[in-house]
Amino acid sequence: MPIEVAASETLPRKILDLAQRDPGRPALRYKVQGHYLDIPWKLMAGEIRRYAAALLAFDLKPGERVAIMAPNSPRWVYADLGIMAAQGVTVPLYQTEGLENLLHILRDSGSRVLILASLVTAGELVAHLGELPKLEQVVLLEGRLEHPRFTEVSEFLARAHDSHHKKLQKTLARGQASDIATLVYTSGTTGPPKGVILTHDNILGAIRAAATAFDIGPGDVCLSFLPLSHVFERIDGYYLMLCQRAIIAYAESIDTVPLNLGEACPMLVIGVPRLFEKMYARIMEQVMSGSWLKKQVFFGALKIGRAFAETRQRNAEPSPWLRYSMALAHKAVFVRLRERLGGRMRFFVSGGAPLMGNVAEFFLAAGIPIYEGYGLTETAAGIAVNTAEQLRLGTVGKVLPGTRVRIAEDGEILLRGPSIFQGYWKNPEATAEALQDGWLKTGDIGELDRDGFLSITDRKKDLIVTAGGKKIAPQNLENRFKSDRLFSNALIYGDGKPYLTALLVPNFEILESFARQNKIDFLNHCDLVTHPHILEMVREHVDALQAGLPSFSRIKRFILISRDFSSEGNEVTPTLKLKRHIIARNFHRILEGIYLAEDQGIHDSGFCIVGEPDAQPPNKVP
């Protein structure tokens, strides 16, 4: 469904204009005291104006930065669009952001105001205010802190008077499509976060393109739980939904998503591969723990579902027998999955990292497709996506209207189009490196097939070059391991080394079951990952998964670790992408040690993590 946007439009003007068309319709849905409540467009628009007027009362000047550090909620929307309505620039911060990154972003952006939800973070900031001379005001969404630079949100909003609301009308009218709307800081997977400059034009260009791919309208409900500080959720799960007048329902937290799916009954959800992988793993665990008959029914239904989905992908018409079989499969198996998801789910959209093929195949067979797409912070979210009409598993779909793609000689994806960012904030060197001759160098390696479907091979900076000069894309091999039920996560290591090694995170439920069946005593996960019989079993799986691969692209040794990579250790981004350089640093001695141990006859090993992983020698088992 196309979006009508004037050439000189700004995002807040567009949203506030839409609010006048049907002011009583629900715009947002938020859980209060155990029940979801609707927030109509009229109320949302009024709150946006209140936040904007309060910022004008604070004498916010056009182009000045205001940061938001809060969980997903209607107040995030009020603050964000209020900042833009006052001609300010929104600087979103992850709610889980560490103090070091928080201080860096506040300093780098020069934010005058911080809208903050956490009193704990507020307390930590007090000791560092001297490092933030431009930060004049911290607005607390929750609680109170006795300090002249901190104020409660109610007091902040009360500063606005009629004169500020009148000024707001003029300020809104002066806004230009070329104005900076937001600085979105990169997740820092390869270094310090950089501020990506996005204009209103960039954002509205991305929304226009996304609206051509999906039929989303006033009857739809989208469940929001990815952080709004992430450009994927912000553009496609927030701005796009409002522009299409769909309802946004907020999950209480990432942990309550299964519960909230059943309560909010959404038609679509935007997520990252790790979410879908966990859903798939949980379903498979429940199936494998069931009776022989239940397994037969499930896998029989899955086989029928895959045949049905494959027929549809070929644009062929399923036979009457296949249609009948699919109806039985749906009734026997897939309807239960749909019920868990609220009963009305039409599709998922996945981005941020590669989606494993077996996960995509499963949900497609179940009649709830995951449309995988591709984009960057620098492209204001998605520039390519699979759709119901054009779907090819294993690719990120076709490039959306308005964007041009080119594959460089070394395989790097180059892009240009209306949603491409303006540069990095106060970083001309990085801007010049990323934007060359009007093309964005994405840093991703990929290819286009004859039908125009784009595939991503890996991150250019993530490519491993062994001591023998062989180039290996680690994500391909990592996904091969994660596709097996035995493994929860994996990181491949070996740049400049004679062969590849890996950190493997096992599925501990399977290890515990194996230990009980084989009468292996254990007290904790450390006992499991260091037991010789378990390491032998894991080695058999590793060899089977690598069968047929060239020798240089196989891992020769592995380290089984007793916990997953975590946000607490700064090892994953808020959207659960691996921070490879951080993990390699945290596990440096352990990874390097496995090469040094070659002469000692030590091969695969287990490592028990207690506290910081690099704070102790590895616990190895020959």
According to the 3-state scheme, what is the secondary structure of 541-574? HHHHHCCCCCHHHCEEEEEEECCCCCCCCCCECC
* Strands annotated E in 98-227: 113-116, 137-140, 150-152, 180-185, 195-199, 221-224
Whether the predicted pLDDT of 605 surpasses 90: no
Instruction: Please state the domain extents for the chain.
Output: 11-175+214-267, 271-343+346-460, 463-615
Fold of 271-343+346-460: Rossmann fold (3.40.50)
Question: For 146-183, how does the pLDDT look when each residue is reduced to its tens digit (9 = 90+)?
Answer: 999 999 999 999 999 999 999 999 999 999 999 999 99
pLDDT recorded at residue 580: 87
Element (H, E) at 173: helix 162-174
Average pLDDT over residues 455-484: 84
Whether the predicted pLDDT of 582 surpasses 70: yes
Question: For 483-511, how does the pLDDT look when each residue is reduced to its tens digit (9 = 90+)?
Answer: 888 999 999 999 888 899 999 999 999 99
Question: For 320-337, how does the pLDDT look when each residue is reduced to its tens digit (9 = 90+)?
Answer: 999 999 999 999 999 999
Average pLDDT over residues 271-294: 88
Q: What percentage of the chain reaches a pLDDT higher than 90? A: 68
> What span, in angstroms and rounded, lies between the C-alpha atoms of 436 and 593?
41
Residue 25 neighbours by CB under 8 Å, 6+ apart: 40, 41, 218, 245
Residue 310 neighbours by CB under 8 Å, 6+ apart: none
> What span, in angstroms and rounded, lies between the C-alpha atoms of 608 and 40?
52
pLDDT recorded at residue 135: 97
Average pLDDT over residues 375-389: 94
Residue 446 neighbours by CB under 8 Å, 6+ apart: 407, 411, 413, 454, 455, 456, 457
Whether the predicted pLDDT of 187 surpasses 80: no
- Residue 268: both structure tokens together: 């679509």
pLDDT recorded at residue 7: 60
Question: For 49-75, how does the pLDDT look when each residue is reduced to its tens digit (9 = 90+)?
Answer: 999 999 999 999 999 999 999 999 999
216: helix, strand or coil: coil
Angstrom CA distances, 16 to 89, 219, 229, 244, 264, stand at 18, 20, 22, 13, 25
pLDDT-based confidence at 310, cuts 50/70/90?
Answer: confident
Instruction: Compute the mean pLDDT over every residue in the chain, rounded to the nearest whole number.
Output: 90
Whether the predicted pLDDT of 123 surpasses 90: yes
pLDDT recorded at residue 619: 42
Average pLDDT over residues 525-547: 92
Which of 490, 486, 487, 466 has its CA nearest to residue 476?
A: 490
Q: Identical fold at 271-343+346-460 and 463-615?
A: no
Cβ atoms 348, 271 nearer than 8 A: yes
More confident residue, 467 or 143: 143
CATH class of 463-615: alpha beta
390: helix, strand or coil: coil
Cβ atoms 572, 579 nearer than 8 A: yes
Average pLDDT over residues 271-285: 88
Residue 349 neighbours by CB under 8 Å, 6+ apart: 214, 236, 268, 269, 270, 271, 370, 371, 372, 373, 385
> What span, in angstroms and rounded, lies between the C-alpha atoms of 361 and 286?
18
Domain range 11-175+214-267, CATH architecture: 3-Layer(aba) Sandwich (3.40)
